């Protein structure tokens, strides 16, 4: 047959086939998940899956007769074009009632541009940059922001006698956020910043940076590096270069000393002071039960702040679904979200009605060796901190 | 000032020795067979994982894991060479790239599957941890060990290449493969041996680097760039060129981080592009 | 005595007529090309909920196409082609943020900027071959990525550019949530540029490129200036890649560093290999296969995805160097031979 006829035949066949596609049924409540199961997310993906399974095991998967269906999509790391397309597909093809997940800020921002026109509530599990919330009235966050967690640490450092500190942070969004926040907050208390170093994201060898810090002879050093590799190597290198002997105290963001990262760091982590919204050893019944149940689910891995953020986001979603008796309206959902207050494994949390961001305790912890295991012991608490940058 | 500079050179040389160990094999195979093996850094990664598993799961002492890591890597690479690579020696380099990129992808996925994507915890024996204070600096023992042990291997390699008949054959084959073959030398077998040794070196380099730079599945790609840069700057087939390039790279990297911390790998890449533009065949190429 | 029959005088074709015949033959539309574009067009109608995916497939296909021009036709291996995609994307994004929201002129400007960059690179590259060439393209790609990462003020660093608003096309077709405008816009641009690429490839210049690919040393010996051909090939290829990047920026209204990443360059290689190098349509088919598979398998454990893609690449390089299009071509030849036998 000639090419023209081929083209027409193909067109007709496809049209015939295609017009038979059926729209999806609407009875289950669909929650779309956009998360980084591969790429830069690292182990976060596995933790997410474990938490969701644990949660549904504890709370069931049906509310008011409607089954809760969870549809997972991998955005592959920092890829806002992917995240946006996945969000659109989830809303338009799968008819999800709400979205959750999101680790990286650019992805969250991209999803926001979809959430707002389509009025889809988004329950952010991880992304920590402050400015996501303002433009997106249907988003709420259950993790933390860099400012929220860093300002108390700067205050604590000053309180315990630090007057001259060196600040080292990684040259990417969360790093720059935390580093700048710490420097501003510390100088606001009256301290002096001896110097700052922006470490490139791909750095693997830190001896040069550490030597620079040592040369400046500060009282202490604040660091923010990503936990998956750089933080571990950095802390070990600091020990090898004798930071403990030189008397330079190490302060860092809790991301570096998560329960899952501590075994790799080893005793280089002992004595490090960090601030975080969650510690595995937080002394509440809810947390002890949570950690125990999670370790069974995950095959021995402890939960981290990412897992707790996921757990609380699901708690929130279930609460608003239950409060609406399974008949969801996005505006009503957001009204309910703004009034959320409940107990999380991390402690008490609430959602700020003005910014829809999370309000929570910030704990100052010291890493110690207890019973042969490395743990983060809470030594001070700053209660119910709101994100300072959103409330100038 | 001088003290700082000396410390930077010390640190840079240690890093450079590591880079050399990982790249030496590639320099030779590239020069010998013109085979673009982008999976070379993946071999180094394998060496690292073998060493870590032996140490963590089976409790072997660190020094003992090194030769085993090198051997395991060499065997794995050797099998790959026999089964796959040798079909591609006379084929366009583009296909070689695709083949090896496919292998890298598979190895990264397999490693993630078996060991997970977390950084591997590794604990050095006490005599290699901590540091020796000299003046204002703490000379860390591990870097010292790298320079000494690595230096030993480097010396052996250079001796091998310069003063043994095997080395002479390799050099001849790099210069002119056809004439060498016509002298009755089995270039095929020569290459297989060179590939084997080169991969063993990569595995050794990988095992040694775990304590310095960490080990995770991204190792295969992170270090690919550096290894390719060393080989390209040094010129194909030139082991001494690779050594010089590796040391240069190591020192420039550390010095850059110390004096201008925010530039990072930018300096290395810019240096590469500039050198390639000026000397397209590398700094020490055999023309 | 039998009369000797002289053959009737057959007009001898001139060389120009011969050339015309050759080009006319090689530029006929192949089955695979027709099939692809018909399927693409019909999909827009038949899958109204997948429009964003279709648009992104076309964009990636256009990018792979630009790469095929470089590697499949001119034989220039490059591991940094994403640089031009990224340059196009950031240009379009920054233009829109600065207030220049008209989309089509945005594409044109992005093409020009990317093309100039391609020209600049070609000057450097024309000295090198083989591994040196690959290295320098890799190096430039990585360098650009680092530079874009550091220049947070311009590119937004790893947070990327957002807040990109695009005016309606021709003042009338607004970009909507379902992606209807986006997909038709992308389809038209991609198809148009596909026709342009076909024209280039089925021209004397295209033949010269193939000559370079087959035997680069002989080309100057038959009087073709290598340098200027390299420059044109790079410029055109870079401009097309830039348009693809600009399209992505315009329809997703974001630009991230992933536009410049090594992963994107490597993916182009994979797609062109799977589809079939040096066939133009192969790039599009490969891109479609890759992206659709990735979308459908996106909730599979990503570890498995990387493994199977790697394995597929190895298998293709071993056994199916013509890619999918090569396979289809062989199938068609086989069918024809069966038919002519019967």
Chain B residues touching residue A258 (CB < 8 angstroms): none
ipTM: 0.81
Q: Is the pLDDT of residue A100 over 90?
A: yes
Q: What is the average pLDDT value for chain A, to the nearest integer?
A: 85
Q: How far apart are CA C265 and CA C83, in angstroms?
A: 8
The alpha-carbon gap from C115 to the nearest alpha carbon of chain B, in Å, equals 20
**Pairing of β A273-276 and β A220-224:** unpaired
Chain C residues touching residue B277 (CB < 8 angstroms): 124, 127, 136
Q: Do C318 and B99 touch (CB under 8 A)?
A: yes
Say if residue A339 is exposed, middle or buried (CB neighbours under 10 Å; 0-12, 13-18, 19+). exposed
Q: Is residue A239 part of a domain?
A: yes
Q: Do B261 and A43 touch (CB under 8 A)?
A: no
Cα-based distances in Å from C32 to A10, C44, C187: 12, 19, 17
pLDDT tens digits along A220-251: 999 998 766 678 888 888 887 888 888 899 99
C-beta neighbour count of B161 within 10 angstroms:
18
Interface membership of A18 toward C (CB under 8 Å): yes
The alpha-carbon gap from C183 to the nearest alpha carbon of chain A, in Å, equals 13
Instruction: Give the burial string for C92-104 (b: 16+ CB within 10 Å, else e).
Output: bbbbbbeeebbbe
- Interhelix angle B187-213/B165-175, rounded to 10 degrees, is 100
Interface membership of B3 toward A (CB under 8 Å): no
Chain C residues touching residue B92 (CB < 8 angstroms): 75
Q: Do A228 and B213 touch (CB under 8 A)?
A: no
Q: Is residue A1 part of a domain?
A: no
Q: Which residues contact C162 (CB under 8 A, 6 or more apart)?
A: A80, A106, A109, A110, A113, C156, C253, C254
From the list C34, C159, C177, the residue facing A106 with the nearest CB is C159
The alpha-carbon gap from B132 to the nearest alpha carbon of chain A, in Å, equals 9
Coil, helix or strand for C167? Answer: coil
Read off the tokens for A147: 């400012």
Residue located via tokens 């026999």 = B82
| Chain A contacts in chain C segment 241-260 (CB below 8 A) | 248, 252-254, 256-258
Which chains reach chain A with 3 or more Cβ–Cβ distances below 8 angstroms?
A: B, C
CA nearest B285 in C: which residue?
C132
Read off the tokens for A143: 């993790």
Interface test mutation site (partner A, options C302, C332, C336, max chain A beta carbons within 10 A): C302
% helix / strand / coil in chain B, to the nearest 5?
75, 5, 20
Find out whether C50 and C179 touch, Cβ atoms under 8 Å: no
What per-residue confidence (pLDDT) applies to B284? 66
Q: Is residue A309 part of a domain?
A: yes
Q: In terms of domains, do A241 and A178 share one?
A: yes
pLDDT tens digits along B91-142: 777 788 889 988 998 998 888 888 877 777 777 777 777 777 776 667 778 8
Find out whether C157 and C151 touch, Cβ atoms under 8 Å: yes
Interface membership of B105 toward C (CB under 8 Å): yes
What per-residue confidence (pLDDT) applies to B254? 85
Q: Is residue A211 part of a domain?
A: yes
Mean pLDDT of A194-212: 83
- In the DSSP assignment, the letter for residue C70 is I
Q: Do A263 and B121 touch (CB under 8 A)?
A: yes
Cα-based distances in Å from A111 to A98, A104, A331: 12, 11, 18
Q: Do C160 and A37 touch (CB under 8 A)?
A: no
Q: How far apart are CA C334 and CA A123, in angstroms?
A: 56
Q: Do A198 and B140 touch (CB under 8 A)?
A: no
What per-residue confidence (pLDDT) applies to A21? 45
Read off the tokens for A248: 């330079």
In which element (H, E) is residue C158 found?
none
Give, for all 342 residues of chain C, the pLDDT tens digit.
566 766 667 677 787 888 777 777 777 788 888 889 998 998 888 888 888 889 999 999 999 999 999 988 887 888 899 999 999 999 999 999 888 888 899 999 999 999 999 998 888 777 776 677 777 888 888 889 888 888 888 888 877 887 788 888 877 777 777 778 889 999 999 999 999 999 888 888 888 888 777 777 777 788 778 788 888 989 999 999 999 999 999 988 888 888 898 889 988 988 998 898 888 899 999 999 998 888 777 666 666 777 888 888 889 888 887 888 888 888 888 888 888 775
Find out whether B147 and B155 touch, Cβ atoms under 8 Å: no
What per-residue confidence (pLDDT) applies to A172? 80
Which chains reach chain B with 3 or more Cβ–Cβ distances below 8 angstroms?
A: A, C
Find out whether A102 and A87 touch, Cβ atoms under 8 Å: no
Query: How far does CA C105 lie from the centroid of its chain?
Result: 21
Q: Provide the residue range defining the domain that includes A293.
A: 29-144+284-356
Residues in chain A: 392
Find out whether A320 and A333 touch, Cβ atoms under 8 Å: yes
From the list B103, B109, B264, the residue facing C303 with the nearest CB is B109
Q: In terms of domains, do A39 and A179 share one?
A: no
Residue A296 or C224, more confident? A296
In this structure, what CATH number is given to the domain that contains residue A377? Answer: 3.40.50.2300
Phi, psi of C301, rounded to the nearest 5 degrees: -55, 120
Total CB pairs under 8 A between chain A and B: 101
CA angle in degrees (0–180, nearest 5) for C264-C266-C268: 70
Interface membership of A15 toward B (CB under 8 Å): no
DSSP-assigned states of every residue in C9-42: PPPPPPHHHHHHHHHHHHTSPPHHHHHHHHHHHH
Read off the tokens for A59: 């709370």
From the list B93, B106, B264, the residue facing C146 with the nearest CB is B264
- In the DSSP assignment, the letter for residue C168 is P
Q: How far apart are CA B35 and CA B81, in angstroms?
A: 11
Interface membership of B258 toward A (CB under 8 Å): yes
Q: How far apart are CA C133 and CA C131, in angstroms?
A: 5
Q: What is the CA radius of gyration of chain A?
A: 23
Q: How far apart are CA A183 and CA B245, in angstroms?
A: 39
| Chain C contacts in chain A segment 197-236 (CB below 8 A) | 200-201
Instruction: Give the burial string for A121-140 (b: 16+ CB within 10 Å, else e).
Output: bbbbbbbbbbebbeebbbbb
Closest C-alpha to A349, from A309, A320, A317:
A309
Quote the pTM value.
0.84
Class of domain C30-341: mainly alpha
From the list A7, A77, A84, the residue facing C252 with the nearest CB is A84
Largest Cα span, chain B: 60
Mean pLDDT of A358-363: 91
- Interhelix angle C103-125/C82-97, rounded to 10 degrees, is 140
CA nearest C129 in B: which residue?
B280
Query: How far does CA C117 lie from the centroid of its chain?
Result: 17
From the list C49, C256, C298, the residue facing A81 with the nearest CB is C256
Interface test mutation site (partner C, options B94, B108, B283, max chain C beta carbons within 10 A): B94
Q: Is residue A8 part of a domain?
A: no
CA nearest B122 in A: which residue?
A264
Chain C residues touching residue A105 (CB < 8 angstroms): 159
Read off the tokens for C261: 């990443």
Q: How far apart are CA A270 and CA A265, in angstroms?
A: 9
Interface test mutation site (partner C, options B23, B31, B80, B106, max chain C beta carbons within 10 A): B106
Q: Do A10 and C158 touch (CB under 8 A)?
A: no
Coil, helix or strand for C81? Answer: coil
Q: What is the mean pLDDT of each run of 10 residues along chain B (287 residues)?
A: 79 90 85 82 93 88 89 93 86 83 89 79 74 72 86 86 84 82 84 88 90 82 84 79 89 84 75 76 61
Q: What is the dihedral of CA C135, C138, C144, C148, to 10 degrees?
A: -140
What string of H, E and C letters represents the secondary structure of chain A?
CCHHHHHHHHHHHHHHHHCCCCCCCCCCEEEEEEECCCHHHCCHHHHHHHHHHHHHHHHCCEECCEEEEEEEEECCCCCHHHHHHHHHHHHHCCCCCEEEECCCHHHHHHHHHHHHHHCCCEEECCCCCHHHCCCCCCEEECCCCHHHHHHHHHHHHHHCCCCEEEEEEECCHHHHHHHHHHHHHHHHHCCEEEEEEEECCCCCCCHHHHHHHHHCCCCEEEEECCCCCHHHHHHHHHHHCCHHHHCCEEEEEHHHHCCCCHHHHHHHHCCCEEEECCCCCCCCHHHHHHHHHHHHHHCCCCCCHHHHHHHHHHHHHHHHHHHCCCCCCHHHHHHHHHCCEEEECCEEEEECCCCCCEEEEEEEEEEEEECCEEEEEEEEEEEEECCHHHCC
Mean pLDDT of A271-285: 89
For chain B, strand residue ranges (E) read 131-134, 137-140
From the list A6, A38, A85, the residue facing C52 with the nearest CB is A85
Closest C-alpha to C114, from C241, C257, C264:
C241
The alpha-carbon gap from A234 to the nearest alpha carbon of chain B, in Å, equals 9
Cα-based distances in Å from A365 to A156, A378, A379, B29, C121: 11, 4, 5, 52, 52
Q: What is the dihedral of CA C137, C138, C144, C146, to 10 degrees?
A: -160
From the list B119, B136, B213, the residue facing A205 with the nearest CB is B213
Chain B residues touching residue A266 (CB < 8 angstroms): 121, 123
| Chain C contacts in chain B segment 189-218 (CB below 8 A) | none
Interface membership of B57 toward A (CB under 8 Å): no
| Chain C contacts in chain A segment 34-53 (CB below 8 A) | 37-39, 45
**Pairing of β A29-35 and β A98-101:** parallel
Coil, helix or strand for C169? Answer: strand
Chain A residues touching residue B45 (CB < 8 angstroms): none
Interface membership of B118 toward A (CB under 8 Å): yes
Interface membership of A263 toward B (CB under 8 Å): yes
pLDDT tens digits along A118-146: 899 999 998 888 778 888 899 999 998 88
Q: Do C313 and B221 touch (CB under 8 A)?
A: no
Find out whether C232 and C123 touch, Cβ atoms under 8 Å: no
Interface membership of B142 toward A (CB under 8 Å): yes
């Amino acid at each position: 047959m000639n090419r023209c006829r081929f083209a027409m035949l193909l067109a007709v066949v496809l049209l015939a086939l295609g017009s038979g596609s059926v729209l999806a049924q609407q009875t289950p409540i669909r929650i779309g998940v956009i998360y980084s199961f591969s790429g830069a997310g690292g182990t976060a993906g596995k933790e997410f899956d474990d938490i969701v399974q644990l949660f549904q095991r504890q709370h069931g998967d049906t509310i008011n007769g409607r089954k809760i269906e969870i549809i997972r999509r991998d955005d592959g790391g920092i890829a806002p074009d992917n995240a946006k397309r996945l969000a659109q597909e989830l809303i338009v093809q799968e008819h999800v009632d709400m979205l959750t997940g999101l680790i990286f800020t650019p992805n969250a921002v991209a999803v926001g541009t979809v959430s707002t026109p389509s009025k889809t509530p988004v329950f952010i599990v991880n992304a920590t940059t402050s400015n996501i919330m303002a433009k997106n009235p249907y988003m709420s966050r259950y993790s933390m922001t860099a400012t929220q967690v860093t300002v108390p640490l700067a205050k604590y450092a000053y309180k315990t006698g630090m007057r001259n500190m060196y600040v080292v942070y990684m040259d990417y969004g969360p790093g720059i956020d935390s580093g700048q926040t710490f420097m501003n907050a510390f100088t606001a208390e009256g301290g002096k910043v001896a110097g700052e170093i922006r470490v490139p994201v791909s750095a693997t060898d830190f001896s040069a940076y550490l030597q620079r810090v040592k040369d400046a002879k500060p009282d202490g050093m604040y660091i923010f590096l990503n936990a998956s590799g750089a933080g571990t190597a950095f802390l070990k290198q600091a020990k090898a270069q004798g930071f403990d002997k030189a008397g330079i105290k190490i302060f860092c963001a809790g991301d570096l000393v998560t329960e899952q990262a501590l075994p790799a760091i080893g005793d280089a982590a002992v004595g490090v002071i960090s601030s975080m919204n969650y510690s595995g050893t937080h002394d509440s019944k809810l947390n002890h039960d949570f950690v125990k149940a999670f370790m069974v689910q995950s095959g021995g891995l402890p939960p981290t702040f990412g897992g707790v953020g996921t757990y609380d986001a699901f708690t929130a979603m279930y609460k608003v679904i239950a409060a609406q008796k399974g008949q969801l309206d996005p505006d009503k959902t957001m009204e309910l979200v703004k009034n959320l207050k409940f107990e999380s494994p991390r402690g008490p949390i609430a959602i700020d009605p003005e910014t829809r961001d999370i309000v929570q305790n910030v704990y100052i912890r010291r890493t110690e060796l207890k019973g042969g295991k490395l743990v983060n012991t809470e030594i001070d608490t700053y209660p119910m901190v709101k994100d300072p940058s959103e409330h100038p | 000032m001088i003290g700082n500079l000396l410390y930077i050179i010390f640190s840079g040389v240690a890093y450079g020795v590591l880079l050399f160990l990982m790249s030496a094999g590639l320099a030779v195979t590239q020069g010998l067979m013109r085979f673009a093996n982008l999976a070379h850094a993946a071999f180094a990664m394998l060496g690292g994982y073998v060493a870590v598993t032996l140490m963590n799961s089976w409790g072997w002492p660190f020094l003992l894991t090194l030769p085993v890591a090198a051997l395991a890597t060499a065997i794995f690479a050797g099998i790959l060479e026999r089964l796959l690579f040798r079909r591609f020696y006379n084929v366009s380099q583009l296909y070689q790239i695709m083949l090896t990129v496919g292998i890298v992808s598979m190895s990264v996925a397999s490693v993630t599957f078996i060991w997970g994507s977390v950084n591997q915890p590794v604990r050095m024996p006490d005599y290699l941890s901590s540091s020796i204070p000299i003046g204002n600096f703490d000379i860390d023992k591990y870097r010292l060990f790298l320079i000494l042990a690595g230096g030993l291997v480097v010396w052996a390699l250079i001796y091998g290449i310069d003063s043994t008949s095997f080395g002479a054959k390799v050099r001849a084959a790099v210069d002119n493969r056809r004439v060498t073959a016509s002298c009755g030398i089995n270039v095929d077998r020569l290459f297989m041996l060179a590939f084997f040794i080169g991969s063993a070196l990569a595995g050794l380099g990988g095992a040694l680097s775990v304590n310095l730079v960490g080990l995770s599945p991204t190792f295969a790609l992170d270090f690919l760039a550096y290894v390719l840069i060393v080989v390209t700057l040094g010129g194909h087939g030139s082991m001494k060129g690779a050594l010089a390039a590796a040391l240069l790279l190591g020192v420039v990297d550390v010095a850059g981080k110390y004096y201008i911390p925010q530039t990072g790998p930018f300096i290395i890449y810019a240096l590469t592009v500039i050198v390639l533009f000026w000397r397209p065949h590398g700094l020490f190429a055999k023309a | 005595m039998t009369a000797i029959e002289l053959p009737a005088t057959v007009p001898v074709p001139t060389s120009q007529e011969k050339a015309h015949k050759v080009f006319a033959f090689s530029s006929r539309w192949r089955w695979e090309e027709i099939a692809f574009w018909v399927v693409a067009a019909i999909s827009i109608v038949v899958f109204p909920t997948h429009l964003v995916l279709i648009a992104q497939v076309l964009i990636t296909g256009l990018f792979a196409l630009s790469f095929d021009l470089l590697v499949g036709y001119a034989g220039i291996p490059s591991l940094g082609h994403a640089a031009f995609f990224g340059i196009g994307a950031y240009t379009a994004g920054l233009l829109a943020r600065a207030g220049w929201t008209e989309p089509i002129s945005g594409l044109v400007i992005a093409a020009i900027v990317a093309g100039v960059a391609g020209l600049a690179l070609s000057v450097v590259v024309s000295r090198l071959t083989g591994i040196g060439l690959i290295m320098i393209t890799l190096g430039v790609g990585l360098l650009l990525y680092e530079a874009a990462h550091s220049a947070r003020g311009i590119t937004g660093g790893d947070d990327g550019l957002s807040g990109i608003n695009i005016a309606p096309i021709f003042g009338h077709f607004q970009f909507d949530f379902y992606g209807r405008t986006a997909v038709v816009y992308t389809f038209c641009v991609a198809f148009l540029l596909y026709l342009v690429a076909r024209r280039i490839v089925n021209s004397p210049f295209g033949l010269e490129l193939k000559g370079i690919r087959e035997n680069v040393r002989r080309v100057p010996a038959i009087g073709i200036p290598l340098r200027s051909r390299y420059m044109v090939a790079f410029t055109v290829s870079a401009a097309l890649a830039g348009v693809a990047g600009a399209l992505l920026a315009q329809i997703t209204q974001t630009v991230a560093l992933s536009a410049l990443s090594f992963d994107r360059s490597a993916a182009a290689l994979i797609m062109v290999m799977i589809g079939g190098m040096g066939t133009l349509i192969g790039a599009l088919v490969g891109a479609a296969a890759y992206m659709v598979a990735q979308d459908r398998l996106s909730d599979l454990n990503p570890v498995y995805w990387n493994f199977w893609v790697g394995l597929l690449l190895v298998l293709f390089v071993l056994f199916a160097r013509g890619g999918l299009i090569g396979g289809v071509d062989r199938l068609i030849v086989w069918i024809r031979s069966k038919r002519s036998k019967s």
